[in-house]
Structure 1
Amino acid sequence: MKRISFKKSPFAQNVFILLTGSLISQVLPFLMLPILQKYFYKPADFGILTVFISMCEIFSSIACLKMEFAIVVQRTIRNAINTAFAAMKIAGFMTLFSLLIVVLFKNQLSEYYNEPKLANYLFLLPIYVFLVGTNDVLSYWFNRKKKFKTISSSKVVQTSFAETLKLTLGYLRANYVGLLLGRLMGFFFSGCYLVWKFMKEDRRTLQLITHKESNQLVKANKQYVIFTTPSVFVNSLINLIYLNLFISHFGKDIAGLLGVSMTYLSAGFGVISVSFSQVFFSKVSEIIESHHLLQVYKQFAKQLALFALGILALIYLIPTKLVVYLLGNEWNQLMEVARIMAVWLSISFISSSLSFIYIRLGRQKEMLLFDCLHLLLILIGFFTARLIDTSLTAALWGFSISQSVYYLFAIFIAIYFIKKSKQV
């Protein structure tokens, strides 16, 4: 079979379109973050933001019970719009459920993190869940239509409004509230843009919606609800658990260091991962022959690995003194944390970029089991490191090594699954 050309293929062009928007959308946060760190927000403020996002992700990551994935694989426009409608209904129920959780436990959560004022802002959580759910549904709707420019533009809208508001509220001394509202409003304006594009281009498809068909499509695509949703939930739970482990053992500021380091690293890894994975999902959904799928998977895994190694080398070349000079002495641990986190993130970058392969192969059940083992592995890595050495560095390496082992396993087990499938 003829070798796939990444540079000239429609796949590469679609990735480039999404990547361009992602890069533009990340340039502003990347440039703004040092200013926000140095002049307006402390590590503890970013710590609260990181914890808040982790709590939100528990609900928002499964806001539609992953029915948004099913939109892409529908063969008719009628099924696609009814699947999207079903996903939005589920997002509405999840929003109400998260609101109930906030009402019942907001005081306990504020006391746990020793932030009494946080209770006044936890009502933002269900709003966040609904906005993320809306963005996800519409993004995958335009993914199905291969309107990657629209998805790309929505990312630019999101970060432009988010960072502008963070800076404005930081100037007004709004502490962590500015960070929370900035992120929330970014999703709000991104959602408004996607709704506007939908109403402009696809309003007539709304006439095809029926409650009966949308409910039937949930049943027809129940594998996303039964297997993919718990898997994604466990991954979100892992993020919340590891943050709480570090906070309980090393204080609230470490959450800020972890959150900020992840923000910087996402400029190198996350942007391409999100852009690549959406187009990759669209492409592999059309491949029928397993040997062709294996060829595509291996080729892109190698290319992603080369990119990851380049980013990792660059991170280790940045001197700590330069970071302290630019941001101030209270951020003197940032590079140490970022370098250790970058090790597993470089491997996770490859795995996440190709993660839709499991859905394409119908291996959600196995991945749910693996994700449960992932959680166990994280706990073993963290506490084993704490037994050997009680320092922050040791705990970070314990966490990073366990993460690296899991994501390496996830990359190679996909090859086994592809080879085992005679036809996909």
Structure 2
Amino acid sequence: MKRISFKKSPFAQNVFILLTGSLISQVLPFLMLPILQKYFYKPADFGILTVFISMCEIFSSIACLKMEFAIVVQRTIRNAINTAFAAIKIVGFMTLFSLLIVVLFKNQLSEYYNEPKLANYLFLLPIYVFLVGTNDVLSYWFNRKKKFKTISSSKVVQTSFAETIKLILGYLGFNYLGLLLGRLLGFLFSGCYLIWRFFKEDTRALKLIRHSESNQLVRENKKYLFFTTPGVFVNSLINLIYLNMFISYYGKDIAGLLGVSMTYLSAGFGVISISFSQVFFSKVSEIEDSHHLLQVYKRFAKQLAIMALIPLGVIYLIPTKLVVYLLGEEWNQLLSVARIMAVWLSVWFVSSSLSFIYIRLGRQKEMLLFDCLHLLLIVIGFFSARLINHSLNSALWGFSISQSVYYLFAIFIAIYFIKKSKQA
């Protein structure tokens, strides 16, 4: 079989298109974040932002009940648009459900985090859910059409508006609300851009929408609802739980340090992962031969592992004094936190970039079980480390090692599943 050249293949070109947009979209946040940290927002402000996003992700990560994945694998435009229509309907339902949760529990959440004013801003949560869900549906619609330039441009629009608004509101004296509004409005403008592109190119597809067909496609793709959705939900729950564990034992500022360190590290890890995974999903959806699929998976796993070493090495070369000089004394723990987090993120980078392989293989049921074990592993790792030493670094290492073990397992179990599909 002819070997595919990564540099010249359409796959590499599509990854490069998405990667270019992602890099451009991350340059502004990367440059703006030190300014926001030093002059406008405190670690506690970023802590509230991190917690708020984690609460939002509980709903927004499953806003479409993962029906957006089903859009990509549809063979006809008619099925694709009706799947997208079904996903939009689900987004509306999840928005209303999240609104109900906010109305019922906003005061309890504010008291839990000792932020009375937070109750006044939790109404932003359902808006966030709707905007993220809509962005996801449209992004995967353009993924199916291989319009990766459109997806790339939407990322630039999102972060450009988000960071500009954060800066303006910070200058005007806003606290964490400026961070919340900046992120939310970034998704608003990104969604508006994607909607504009859709109506410019695909208005005729709207004539193919049938309510009954969209419901039927949900039933035909129920594996996304029953297996993929719970797995994604558990992963979002993990993020919220580990943040709350650190907040409970080490205070709200640690949530800010974790959130900011993740923002910096995402410039090295997350950008490539998101860009790669979307194109990878599109590619493996078209591969029928399991032997070819195994070759593609192994080759890209090796290349991604090498790429992961670059940001990991950079973060350990940065002097601690430089961070304190640039950001101020209140951020003196940031680098030590980021270095520990970078260890598991380097493994996550490889695993998440290839994670769509489980959907391609129809292994959502198994991954749901593994996700539940993941949650248990994180809790065990955190508290086992605290038994050895109560320090923050000890807890971080316990968490990081647990995460690394899980994501290494996820990488290698995929190879087993591919080989098993080959035998079948």
Class of the TM-score when normalised by the shorter of the 2 chains: over 0.9
Q: 2 CA distance for matches of 1:312 and 1:46? A: 23
> How far apart are 1:252 and its partner, in Å?
0.3
After superposition, residues 40-189 of structure 1 pair within 5 angstroms as: 40-189=40-189
Could you report, residue by residue, the CA deviation over 1:4-36 in whole angstroms, capped at 9, with x for unpaired residues? 211110000000000000000000000000000
Q: 2 CA distance for matches of 1:374 and 1:318? A: 31
5+ long unaligned stretches in structure 1: none
Q: 2 CA distance for matches of 1:367 and 1:309? A: 27
After superposition, residues 323-402 of structure 1 pair within 5 angstroms as: 323-402=323-402
Letter in 1 for 2:243: L
SS of 1:268 mapped into structure 2: coil
Q: Is the 8 A contact 1:158 1:187 kept in 2?
A: yes
SS of 2:173 mapped into structure 1: coil
Letter in 2 for 1:212: S
Letter in 1 for 2:296: V
SS of 1:116 mapped into structure 2: coil
Q: 2 CA distance for matches of 1:36 and 1:317? A: 24
Q: 2 CA distance for matches of 1:273 and 1:207? A: 35
2:281 — aligned with what? 281
SS of 2:422 mapped into structure 1: coil
> How far apart are 1:310 and its partner, in Å?
1.5
Q: 2 CA distance for matches of 1:314 and 1:111? A: 40
Letter in 2 for 1:178: G
Report percent identity of matched pairs: 88
Letter in 2 for 1:92: G
> How far apart are 1:311 and its partner, in Å?
1.3
5+ long unaligned stretches in structure 2: none
SS of 1:312 mapped into structure 2: helix
SS of 2:256 mapped into structure 1: helix
> How far apart are 1:2 and its partner, in Å?
2.2
Runs of 4+ residues deviating >6 angstroms? none
Letter in 1 for 2:349: F
SS of 2:390 mapped into structure 1: coil
2:407 — aligned with what? 407
Q: Is the 8 A contact 1:57 1:236 kept in 2?
A: yes
Q: 1 CA distance for matches of 2:211 and 2:422? A: 37
2:238 — aligned with what? 238
Could you report, residue by residue, the CA deviation over 1:47-73 in whole angstroms, capped at 9, with x for unpaired residues? 000000000000000000000000000
RMSD (CA atoms): 0.7
| C-alpha spacing 1:98/1:265, structure 2 compared with 1 (3 Å) | same
SS of 2:267 mapped into structure 1: helix
Q: 1 CA distance for matches of 2:139 and 2:184? A: 17
2:19 — aligned with what? 19
Q: 2 CA distance for matches of 1:174 and 1:35? A: 15
Q: Is the 8 A contact 1:274 1:353 kept in 2?
A: yes
> How far apart are 1:186 and its partner, in Å?
0.2
> How far apart are 1:3 and its partner, in Å?
2.1
1:219 — aligned with what? 219
Q: 2 CA distance for matches of 1:346 and 1:360? A: 24
Q: Is the 8 A contact 1:51 1:243 kept in 2?
A: yes
> How far apart are 1:271 and its partner, in Å?
0.3
Q: 1 CA distance for matches of 2:422 and 2:256? A: 47
1:292 aligns with 2:287: no
> How far apart are 1:423 and its partner, in Å?
7.6
> How far apart are 1:262 and its partner, in Å?
0.1
Letter in 2 for 1:152: S
Q: 1 CA distance for matches of 2:290 and 2:423? A: 5
SS of 1:19 mapped into structure 2: helix
